[in-house]
Structure 1
């Protein structure tokens, strides 16, 4: 039985053939994790995955990883390890000479979009006549549509964020007097205690006027009664794979108030909530990402807050917290079943407060599935 990684490599090879390209080269990055299930940080050591349009993929790696890499669930993967006494370029060259690249024409090599310049130069030295492009041209269309394993992981990440969101709401008056950083740390603790691997990004707690800064970094400011609190958080969870890894994040935002909110707050909150619903109602296969942004933005503009909606409506989510598709004006990318992205309109009133409401959604055959299901109102203590 093929593993998910066998299927992904095979799909990559089919894309290479259609693109008339010969080879994809990845190094430690989400692309490598997607194709192999191996996750590692980039370093100065040569760790390169070669996927040809035809033939077996090969992984050139330091010998220290041999035990880990030999367990990867990829049937035809050729593992080529080098020691510190070896020249890794010789190992890579031996792999490349085993492929029929380009035939009578110069080879077309697609390198990981984040490949360090030093490794790109090494490949140019080994393949001086090759034409180079970016791996995203074949991998993005694969990664942008989540398979069943990925969707299951993203649903679990959404459920985890939901549990913590509800827990924070029930604390009500206990939130008053906490600093933003104290509450952020408590959210992080709860996310891990509930089964998350680690926070997927720096948790945002932005109280009062700090809420008018969409990516505020929490500090020593104490939360006061009656002021809006923007809470944006999520955690990574592991996908249910036989072997290898794949961590997928939650990402949810709610804006709550302990006590009575400012005079204009309820109108702003209702506007943002309506805008989010309008965007989700607009989602279905075939519509463009830009049209979803337009649906949210129109509601906010009609309410007179257009200038206070200062960011895109959403971003794709997968192995990375931010990835395609981007739900932004002018993006003509048509939505397809299996795409997952955030829908997070916001209104930010400088010196007063901000409101953002965010859920992750998956595009279905006829609409959208919300991956978050907690109250979107502002009341606490319930």
Structure 2
């Protein structure tokens, strides 16, 4: 397995964010625990009621403020290897005032998009004369364009979740509940190399018509089509996400015909995806194909979402998004149809935009797998 990302990677990422902030007239970027902090520093900090905050001035060195009890964890993270000063705050100290004191001349700060609202408000109280804006426009364009090592991480994640899907047919049979199958899948996700199970959707029969159905005690019946949408996070922080379709026995001619149309829609959208193509155009490729087959009204969500250190991030493959694809952008292509009260289906691959098209991170069959 390729080595984990190191201090040089994180320093480069921070410098790119610092440059973007400077060009936007922002004096500092404030980042609390979540995907942005891990992306920039490698520190997978706990999101707590106590404040952990990376202070990234546009002119000056980065500093991180953490609760005193979290200092040992910060010291064994890449933060220490990068030489970023770690300031521990006791229970009685005002950590927000401490952050404000680190950037006394700031007039405009960017706040990471996932900072809790309560913390945003306390930052405002600590810096009442300082303008605040979202840091997403600074960080998202950088995270959205993956480098070769990030793409390799997504390949590993895709291979791991493919390994799980390869074992799903052995778990499905009439008489088992969705919850029983889901429990087995969760164990397989960890066994395949993930460090966490982010979601397990097992939606049988009519439950398949709910795109984000979770797990239930519904007993799987003979003839049920089963949506299995699963994903987790790998040790390096990169995520997997893949949906495949199964049927316990023959699902019937009508379902097979609709599935064939969905298969073509997913293939058509994947074939179109390439540098220079807009996100909206990819969505239209899948949506128009399903509409031609009379399934347009049953396709009730966007065609895809970006993926990386979060399962859902930019770019979003949807109508109205005129963002032009570039090499390194990673996203799902996952059209579906949902016939309420009857059944549903979705086919999902994670793909990465290359110089000439896309590379799929998922390579298990996209055909309907019929389990006898």
Kept in 2, the 8 Å contact 1:346–1:355? The answer is yes
The correspondence of residues 45-60 of structure 1 with structure 2, limited to 5 A, is 45-60=50-65
- Paired residue for 1:264? 254
Residue 209 of structure 1: CA displacement? Answer: 1.4
- Paired residue for 1:122? 122
Residue 23 of structure 1: CA displacement? Answer: 0.8
- Paired residue for 1:147? 147
Kept in 1, the 8 Å contact 2:173–2:371? The answer is no
Kept in 2, the 8 Å contact 1:227–1:262? The answer is no
The two structures have a TM-score, normalised by structure 2, of 0.93
Kept in 2, the 8 Å contact 1:56–1:76? The answer is no
Q: How many residues align?
A: 365
Deviations 1:73-102 (A, max 9, x none): 3534122112224332443243223xx53x
CA distance in structure 1 between the aligned counterparts of 2:131 and 2:99, rounded to whole angstroms: 18
Structure 2 residue matching 1:142: 3-state secondary structure: helix
Residue 297 of structure 1: CA displacement? Answer: 0.5
CA distance in structure 2 between the aligned counterparts of 1:72 and 1:111, rounded to whole angstroms: 22
The correspondence of residues 84-163 of structure 1 with structure 2, limited to 5 A, is 84-97=91-104, 100-101=105-106, 107-163=107-163
Kept in 2, the 8 Å contact 1:209–1:351? The answer is yes
- Paired residue for 2:278? 288
Structure 2 residue 251 is the aligned partner of structure 1 residue 232: no
Task: Work out which of the residue numbers 277, 293, 298 in structure 2 matches 1:308.
Answer: 298
Kept in 1, the 8 Å contact 2:53–2:65? The answer is yes
Residue 319 of structure 1: CA displacement? Answer: 1.3
Kept in 2, the 8 Å contact 1:317–1:324? The answer is yes
Deviations 1:172-220 (A, max 9, x none): 8x6221111111111111111222212122x111111111111112212
Structure 2 residue 45 is the aligned partner of structure 1 residue 34: no
Structure 2 vs 1, CA of residues 208 and 89 (structure 1 numbering), >3 Å: closer, same or farther?
closer
Structure 2 residue matching 1:355: 3-state secondary structure: strand
- Paired residue for 2:3? none
- Paired residue for 2:174? 176
- Paired residue for 2:214? 217
CA distance in structure 1 between the aligned counterparts of 2:102 and 2:120, rounded to whole angstroms: 16
Task: Work out which of the residue numbers 358, 369, 378 in structure 1 matches 2:368.
Answer: 378
Structure 2 residue matching 1:49: 3-state secondary structure: strand
Kept in 1, the 8 Å contact 2:350–2:361? The answer is yes
Q: What are the ranges of 5 or more consecutive residues in structure 1 without an aligned counterpart?
A: 102-106, 240-246
The correspondence of residues 247-262 of structure 1 with structure 2, limited to 5 A, is 247-262=237-252
CA distance in structure 2 between the aligned counterparts of 1:160 and 1:115, rounded to whole angstroms: 31
Kept in 1, the 8 Å contact 2:245–2:369? The answer is no
Provide the alpha-carbon RMSD of the alignment.
Answer: 1.8
Q: Which moved more, 1:123-132 or 1:272-281?
A: 123-132
Residue 111 of structure 1: CA displacement? Answer: 0.7
Task: Work out which of the residue numbers 5, 12, 17 in structure 1 matches 2:10.
Answer: 5
- Paired residue for 1:331? 321
Kept in 1, the 8 Å contact 2:55–2:99? The answer is no
Residue 124 of structure 1: CA displacement? Answer: 2.6
The two structures have a TM-score, normalised by structure 1, of 0.91
- Paired residue for 2:68? 63
CA distance in structure 2 between the aligned counterparts of 1:87 and 1:126, rounded to whole angstroms: 9
Kept in 1, the 8 Å contact 2:274–2:356? The answer is yes
Kept in 2, the 8 Å contact 1:153–1:238? The answer is no
Structure 2 vs 1, CA of residues 265 and 118 (structure 1 numbering), >3 Å: closer, same or farther?
closer
